Amino acid sequence: MPSLRDVRKRIRSVISTRQITKAMEMVAAAKLRKAQMKVMQVRPYSEKMDHILESLSAAASGEMIHPFFEKREVKKQTLVLITSDRGLCGSFNANLIRKSWEWLEGKDKDKVELVLIGKKGSDFYKRRQFEIVGRFNDWSGNLDYPKAREVVDFLTNRFLSGQTDEIVLIYTQFISTVRYKVTTSRYLPVERPAIDEKKGGNIEYIFEPSPDKIFANLMPRYALTKMITALADSFASEHGTRMIAMGSATKNAGEMIDALTLQYNKARQASITKELLEIVSGAEALKG
């Protein structure tokens, strides 16, 4: 049975841990609020870009020509995995890595390459035999627009130069504070929007300048918007998961403190009772 000193040390240690997890929970909550605002700002813009692309493709019909739409024989695939730079966020990174591993399973390693966003994904795959062509770390859970543009430029250049034929994203789609969805989506080539005749298939546009020039300006912005949306969703999901995980850790620490305090009181009471019995026994021996 541990001594009273050992139990007191454990109580002090758990109290210190609870203070740390509580502080981390509050920091994650503050970052989550900012990340949620980013998601709310980005999503309407992304939806509007989809609507514009759908409308233009309906009007341009056969004239819609851009390299981002080019579908070719898939000889090389690029997987872009978005994880976090730090841990202590529950099963967030484990779910992403498991999903990416399932996607990679059974594929020829010579026909697949990885682009890793976030340190946790880099740490996992650097020990595996897959080719890593790009690492983008040190985001600190914040959406960095210049760095996001750097990622997009890197990916689009590889696609346009023919170094890869298909780019797939794996990230977490933010649903609520306590919910997210691990999502797999094709980034490039861009899927041609389905033309809905009822909504705009019969609308005639006069393109000025030409459709080629319009799509040449629109598609890089479209690619950037899709990447920023994925990053914003991922960071919001990360902060939400970390807040929940640290909240659970704080609660568990409190329960452990209560259990250790009860154990300490029982041990202390047993020690006092033992001392009283020794005193009484000594007194009775002196009387005899």
Segments in the chain forming alpha helices (H): 4-60, 92-104, 119-125, 145-160, 211-287
Give me the residue spans of the domains in the chain.
Answer: 4-25+245-283, 41-243
Q: Determine the 3-state secondary structure of 135 from DSSP.
A: strand
pLDDT at 140: 86
User: In this structure, what DSSP letter does residue 195 have?
Assistant: P
On whether the CB atoms of residues 182 and 96 are closer than 8 A, the answer is: yes
CA dist., res. 171 & res. 92, Å (int): 10
Q: What is the pLDDT of residue 60?
A: 60
Strand partners, 82: 117
| CA dist., res. 243 & res. 32, Å (int) | 8
Please give the structure tokens belonging to residue 231.
């990053």
| Predicted model pTM | 0.86
Residue 203 CB burial class (10 angstroms; 0-12, 13-18, ≥19): exposed
What integer pLDDT is reported at residue 241 of this predicted model? 95
**pLDDT in the model for residue 59:** 64
Q: How far apart are the C-alpha atoms of 227 and 134, rounded to whole Å?
A: 15
- CA atoms within 13 A of residue 230's CA, in its CB half-sphere: 26
Residue 105's SS3 state is coil
The active-site residue, picked from 64, 89, 188, 253, is: 89
Helix, strand, or coil here: 168? strand
Q: How many CB atoms lie within 10 A of CB 77?
A: 18
> Fold match between 4-25+245-283 and 41-243?
no
pLDDT at 284: 79
The dihedral built from the CA positions of residue 176, 182, 188 and 189, taken in this order, carries a sign that is negative
Do you find a cis peptide bond into 209, omega within 30 degrees of 0? yes
- Please say whether the beta carbons of 64 and 54 come within 8 A: no
Whether 89 sits among the annotated catalytic residues: the reply is yes
Please enumerate in sequence order all residues whose Cβ is within 8 A of that of 266, keeping only pairs 6 or more positions apart, or say none. Answer: none
Name the phi and psi angles at 14, rounded to 5. Answer: -70, -35
CATH topology of domain 4-25+245-283: Helix Hairpins (1.10.287)
Return per-residue pLDDT of the chain as tens, 288 residues: 678 888 899 999 999 999 999 999 999 999 999 999 999 999 999 998 888 887 777 666 555 578 888 888 999 999 999 999 999 999 999 999 999 999 999 899 999 999 999 999 999 999 888 999 999 999 988 999 999 999 999 999 999 999 999 999 999 999 998 899 999 999 999 887 665 555 545 556 666 777 778 888 889 999 999 999 999 999 999 999 999 999 999 999 999 999 999 999 988 888 888 888 888 888 878 776
Neighbours of 233 (CB within 10 A): 24
**Nearest 5°: phi and psi at 65?**
-125, 120
Please name which of 119, 124, 157, 158 lies closest in space to residue 136, comparing C-alpha atoms: 119
Collapsing DSSP to helix, strand or coil, 3 comes out as coil
Which helix (DSSP H) or strand (DSSP E) does residue 181 occupy?
strand 179-188
Superfamily classification of domain 41-243: ATP synthase, F1 complex, gamma subunit (3.40.1380.10)
pLDDT reported for residue 257? 95
